[in-house]
């Protein structure tokens, strides 16, 4: 249970970080807005033509009498739309990260610099196009895995009672796991952590992952919430990645003796001015 709270705390800390860095937050909205328009168009199409698709896929029910045909196909139409919504939530992050990859990578580096004791951020050393290829390849693999889970949960949705109670809950935890994987990939890929290793790392701390990703997945169901929460989610996932790897992290709001490094808009760490010699220390 402690890890659940820690995961949720990283989610909140990420939102706080972008709130203190308005320029980063503003640029982070653009990829989410583009992705939102694309997904809304797809969901509207599914709502308009979903019933026709179900009727085409269930020709065996053509001769069923009323009200059974309507109830059966109506139920499948609702489940189909719910499945589409689940996949939209899971894949929204992947598509948004691909569209806004360069910015989100820069944002993640700024977070690393801000909370790292030495004011530095790990670098992958790979070219832009190589990083883009790896990100796209890994995102596709995650989408396929999420799709398999989606089909399985769709089938389990036909189980009486459990399909309407237990399965949706499992679905949100599955969504939270894959959301967290996509978001932490930004920071972990810079550290050279491959997909297989990332998945093993996340499975070793499931409670921490669920504490971060499940509330985020629920929030993403609120219209427009995903767009506004995305920059903070990337920032929070960077903090989560540091905990998963056991990296030392300091609070960006705390004062420390010696030089204090803050991330600025240029990404260059700058030392905080020190008090004149002989002046009393703060708080004394």
**What is the rounded CA–CA span in Å between residue 90 and residue 186?**
16
Asked if 150 contacts 183 with a C-beta cutoff of 8 angstroms, the reply is no
Between 91 and 43, whose confidence is greater? Answer: 43
Residues 117-146: tens digit of each pLDDT: 888 888 887 787 888 788 888 888 887 888
- pLDDT score for 132: 79
Q: Which residues pair with 271 in a beta bridge?
A: 261
Predicted confidence (pLDDT) at residue 254 exceeds the cutoff of 90: no
**What is the rounded CA–CA span in Å between residue 279 and residue 277?**
6
> In the predicted model, what is the mean pLDDT of residues 242-265?
59
- pLDDT score for 253: 52
**Residue 261 forms part of a structural domain:** no
**Residue 103 forms part of a structural domain:** yes
Predicted confidence (pLDDT) at residue 184 exceeds the cutoff of 90: yes
**Residue 277 forms part of a structural domain:** no
**Residue 274 forms part of a structural domain:** no
**What is the rounded CA–CA span in Å between residue 228 and residue 231?**
7
Domain boundaries, position 206: 2-246
Q: Which residues pair with 261 in a beta bridge?
A: 271
- pLDDT score for 284: 37
Largest CA distance in the chain: 93
- pLDDT score for 251: 67
**Residue 128 forms part of a structural domain:** yes
Between 159 and 179, whose confidence is greater? Answer: 179
Give the total number of structural domains in the chain: 1
**Residue 16 forms part of a structural domain:** yes
Residue 41, CB-side half-sphere exposure with 13 Å CA sphere: 6
**Residue 252 forms part of a structural domain:** no
**Residue 121 forms part of a structural domain:** yes
Between 275 and 168, whose confidence is greater? Answer: 168
Q: In terms of Cα–Cα distance, which of 257, 118, 110, 78 is closest to 190?
A: 110
**What is the rounded CA–CA span in Å between residue 74 and residue 97?**
35
Of all residues in the chain, the percent with pLDDT exceeding 70 is 87
- pLDDT score for 241: 94
**What is the rounded CA–CA span in Å between residue 63 and residue 65?**
6
- pLDDT score for 267: 40
| DSSP-derived secondary structure for the chain | -HHHHHHHHHHHHHHHHHHH-HHHHHHHHHHHHHHHHHHHHHHHHHHHHHHHHHHHH-GGGTTPPTTHHHHHHHHHHHHHHHHHHHHHHHHHHHHHHHHTHHHHHHHHHHHHHHHSTTS--------HHHHHHHHHHHHHHHHHHHHHHHHHHHHHTTSTTGGGTHHHHHHHHHHHHHHHHHHHHHHHHHTT--HHHHHHHHHTTHHHHHHHHHHHHHHHTSTTHHHHHHHHHHHHHHHHHHHHTT-----TTS--SS--EE--TTS--EEPPPPPTTPPPTT-
Residues 33-64: tens digit of each pLDDT: 888 888 889 889 888 888 888 888 888 888 88
Q: What average pLDDT does the structure give for the chain?
A: 81
Rg (CA), the chain: 22
């Amino acid at each position: 249970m402690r890890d659940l709270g820690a995961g949720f705390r990283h989610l909140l800390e990420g939102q706080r970080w972008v709130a203190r860095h308005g320029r980063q937050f503003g640029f982070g909205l653009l990829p989410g807005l583009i992705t939102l328009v694309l997904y809304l168009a797809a969901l509207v199409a599914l709502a308009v033509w979903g019933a026709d698709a179900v009727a085409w896929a269930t020709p065996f029910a053509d001769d069923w009498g009323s009200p059974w045909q309507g109830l059966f196909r109506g139920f499948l139409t609702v489940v189909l739309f719910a499945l589409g919504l689940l996949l939209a939530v899971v894949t929204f992050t992947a598509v948004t990260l691909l569209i806004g990859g360069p910015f989100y990578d820069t944002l993640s580096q700024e977070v690393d610099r801000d909370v790292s004791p030495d004011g530095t951020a790990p670098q992958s050393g790979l070219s832009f196009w190589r990083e883009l290829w790896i990100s796209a390849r890994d995102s596709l693999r995650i989408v396929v895995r999420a799709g398999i889970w989606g089909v399985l949960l769709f089938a389990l949705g036909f189980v009486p009672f459990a399909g309407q109670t237990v399965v949706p809950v499992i679905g949100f935890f599955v969504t939270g796991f894959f959301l967290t994987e996509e978001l932490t990939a930004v920071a972990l890929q810079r550290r050279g952590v491959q997909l297989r290793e990332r998945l093993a790392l996340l499975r070793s701390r499931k409670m921490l992952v669920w504490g971060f990703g499940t509330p985020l997945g629920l929030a993403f169901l609120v219209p427009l919430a995903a767009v506004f929460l995305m920059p903070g989610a990337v920032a929070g996932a960077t903090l989560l990645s540091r905990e998963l790897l056991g990296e030392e992290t300091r609070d960006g709001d705390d004062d420390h003796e010696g030089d204090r490094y803050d991330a600025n808009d240029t990404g260059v760490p700058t030392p905080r001015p020190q008090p004149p010699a002989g002046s009393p220390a703060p708080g004394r």
